Structure 1
Amino acid sequence: MKKIGFLSFGHWSPSPQSGTRSAGDALLQSIDLAVAAEELGADGAYFRVHHFARQLASPFPLLAAVGARTSRIEIGTAVIDMRYENPLYMAEDAGAADLISGGRLQLGLSRGSPEQVIDGWRYFGYAPGEGQNDADMGRRHAEVFLDVLRGEGFAQPNPRPMFPNPPGLLRLEPHSEGLRDRIWWGSSSDATAVWAAKLGMNLQSSTLKNDETGEPFHIQQAKQIRAYREAWKDAGHTREPRVSVSRSLFALVDDRDRAYFGRGDSQDQIGFIDENTRAIFGRSYAAEPDKLIEELKADEAVAEADTLLLTVPNQLGVDYNAHVIEAILKQVAPALGWR
């Protein structure tokens, strides 16, 4: 069995060709798609976070709203750029959203990706410490976030508070028990996957990875997952970790699908995410269901993961994206043993 959810970047554009014309459209349609996905039997509704872009940005109001409108589906991010985050304020927001959803939050974090602006985190008031870079800063913010999620007191109480305090040091409120075990790290390298395992975070691996061996994307990603699981075992954690991968998957079942995505097979692509980092971008899959099933059988990383996130073209509208999800759930997943 494999959990299957969707991942939306929440793009919006005032273009007449877009079904998502404004930020309000992107947010409200995201909620509607999560409701539709739950009704179809999907397991997760995940959202990407990008700053200074016409995409979803501040995740917690959206996550709380989805939590209030749904009852079963997991609600998450993939990913929040921790270079921009105040980890203590974020812990309060996350605790509130998790309590509203009844403990269904699955938060994916990361050091971030190429940005719309130069060093955008500086505009949010953050700067790396002495001898650190922005990636170090993002990981440090994540470590503080993980620490406060444990729910242990750390702040000295005021001897003359406005309201009575419980005894001892104070923790952040609201605290949501169990959320610490539902934090994921979006890793593009083998080394950061191992680091995430040592800290007890689940692993999110997307369609972009540092090209560390020159092998096909899915093989490199599968090796990353195995290295993560080995590091998890070595760290002695008592629970089973979770691993997700994301894929662009389209079962061509009607004329709309063929018009949008029936242009033939794509291939892995090589590029650079900064001046020094060579990256490999995984292919998209678009084929008739029988062919798509056979192609996915050969994807080693999808086989390794317990959770699959379907990246959706959100600007095509809620109804069409629900159709995309339903086609995978009903015409592809059962043949692969995922349902």
Structure 2
Amino acid sequence: MPPTSRPLSKLGFLTIGLFDEADPRRGHESTLEIIELGERLGFDSAWVRHRHLQYGISSPVAVLTAASQRTRRIELGTAVIPLGWENPLRLAEDLATVDLLSGGRLNPGVSVGPPMHYDRIKEALYADTADVEDFGYERVRRLLDFVRGKPVTDFSGVEGFEVFSDRVQPQSPGLGSRMWYGGGSLRSAQWAGEHDMNFLTSSVVKAEGPEGSEDAEGSPDFAEIQLAHIRAFRAHHPDGENARVSQGLVVIPTDSATPQQRAKYEEYAAKRTPRTLSPQGPARLLFAPDLVGTSEEIAERLQAHVAFREVDEVAFALPFTFEHEDYVQILTDVAARLGPLLGWRSKA
């Protein structure tokens, strides 16, 4: 391992929690079973994605409530809750409740921006205020204030037989320090650092960065861009180099996979490769290649990834469309083979 790398201290995974419209319970149960497996394998954290009007988890807070009662140690995170769909005050109540029920294991990750396809759903989501809603960082700041115990109102005390608080209740000590921002731009990285959050990076960044963040052919270099984001975050965070960053690349080890599984994994990655070759769309989004191969091969590629070398936490993303048994194989290989190659020690 290169001398500038940080040994991996926290190993996590991320799932979208897909389900069949005809049998949604089975898909949700599969997600919970995968989280339970993650704990048995010694993973430090399990994260769920957030999907609205799709066949993936639409209510991660509810799913993680159930997961909190079926596990005892593994940390539970959201990556990420898009706040354009949420009321920050109500969400603060839900997050604190789940954190208390989990024994302080919740790691809420959030992001900003208007909901996807907003013009087509805004009347259903915000019938009376659709044109005046603010989907910027102010929404995150409000959530942070509520979670961290700042007053919501100037009223508190006893009214008749009822007692009122001027803060969101319940309050969960420590939750405010476990709030994560999921960002893929320099601006987001800086904002998260300035507001004392943790930073979630993923397999998507905006094609931006300092001079020199291009590869040999002059195209944007994903790893260099992500590295610039990590350094911008830490430069603006009170904890500096100790500020928490988690990286979330798609990682698919094949050590114990069947020949059929390996073929499926390689086909999946190949179909997604074209989007990694150049920035996509008006936002110039750049995608990282999926990492498929033996644990030794993947470890070598990660150790050469300049952004990976500056983090000591990961939440490897499980592919969207695989079967339950595929996830079992992938997670087992990550915990048993890949993690130790990266310096991680199982908590099992």
Name the TM-score, length of structure 2 as normaliser: 0.84
Q: What's the offset of the Cα at 1:113?
A: 7.8
Q: 1:170-224 CA deviation, whole Å, 9 max, x = no partner?
A: 2111110110000000111011110110001100111111111443211210111
Counterpart mapping for 1:199-218 below 5 A? 199-213=195-209, 214-218=219-223
Which of 5, 28, 31 matches 2:12? 5
Q: What's the offset of the Cα at 1:152?
A: 3.7
DSSP-derived class of the 1:270 partner: coil
User: Contact (CA 8 Å) 2:220, 2:278: kept in 1 or not?
Assistant: no
The 1:211–1:315 alpha-carbon spacing in structure 2 relative to 1, beyond 3 Å, is: closer
Give the Cα–Cα distance (whole angstroms) in 2 for the partners of residues 199 and 243 of structure 1.
Answer: 14
The 1:22–1:310 alpha-carbon spacing in structure 2 relative to 1, beyond 3 Å, is: farther
Give the Cα–Cα distance (whole angstroms) in 2 for the partners of residues 178 and 290 of structure 1.
Answer: 37
**In the alignment, does 2:80 pair up with 1:75?**
no
- Unaligned runs of at least 5 residues, structure 1: 15-20
Give the Cα–Cα distance (whole angstroms) in 1 for the partners of residues 9 and 84 of structure 2.
Answer: 31
What is the one-letter code of the residue matched to 2:261? D
Give the Cα–Cα distance (whole angstroms) in 1 for the partners of residues 181 and 158 of structure 2.
Answer: 39
- Quote the residue 1:144 is aligned against: 142
**In the alignment, does 2:36 pair up with 1:35?**
yes
User: Contact (CA 8 Å) 2:18, 2:320: kept in 1 or not?
Assistant: yes
Give the Cα–Cα distance (whole angstroms) in 1 for the partners of residues 308 and 69 of structure 2.
Answer: 31
Which of 263, 267, 280 matches 2:286? 280
RMSD across aligned C-alpha pairs, in angstroms?
2.4
- Quote the residue 2:4 is aligned against: none
Q: 1:19-65 CA deviation, whole Å, 9 max, x = no partner?
A: xx633222211111100100001111101112111111112111111
- Quote the residue 1:244 is aligned against: 246
- Quote the residue 2:328 is aligned against: 322
Q: Which moved more, 1:94-103 or 1:151-160?
A: 151-160
User: Contact (CA 8 Å) 2:252, 2:330: kept in 1 or not?
Assistant: yes
DSSP-derived class of the 1:52 partner: coil
- Quote the residue 1:18 is aligned against: none
**In the alignment, does 2:161 pair up with 1:162?**
yes
Give the Cα–Cα distance (whole angstroms) in 2 for the partners of residues 34 and 289 of structure 1.
Answer: 21
Q: 1:47-103 CA deviation, whole Å, 9 max, x = no partner?
A: 111211111111211111111110110100000001111011101100110011000
- Quote the residue 1:258 is aligned against: 262
- Unaligned runs of at least 5 residues, structure 2: 1-7, 210-218
Name the TM-score, length of structure 1 as normaliser: 0.86
Give the Cα–Cα distance (whole angstroms) in 1 for the partners of residues 48 and 32 of structure 2.
Answer: 11
Which of 171, 174, 188 matches 2:170? 174
**In the alignment, does 2:318 pair up with 1:312?**
yes
